[in-house]
Amino acid sequence: MRTVIISDLHNRVDWIESTLSILDFDKVVFLGDYFDDFDDTVAGCQER
């Protein structure tokens, strides 16, 4: 079983989509900081 472990993505969805599309894996584990960025607000994250 191949597992991809990702942390500190900070809303870089374009990076993760392109990366995951070329990898062969069975499971993805996100460790945190998926949606937030340095200047983000709760309202800004909810809009995305």
What tens digit of pLDDT does each residue of 9-25 get?
877 878 888 888 999 99
pLDDT bucket at 48, cuts 50 / 70 / 90: low
The distance between the two most distant Cα atoms of the chain, rounded to a whole number of Å, is 38
Residue 45 has what pLDDT? 67
pLDDT in tens, 22-35: 999 999 998 877 76
Q: Please answer whether residues 23 and 32 qualify as being in contact, where contact means their C-beta atoms are separated by less than 8 angstroms.
A: no
Q: Which of 43, 32, 45 is nearest to 5 (CA)?
A: 32
What SS3 class is residue 14? helix
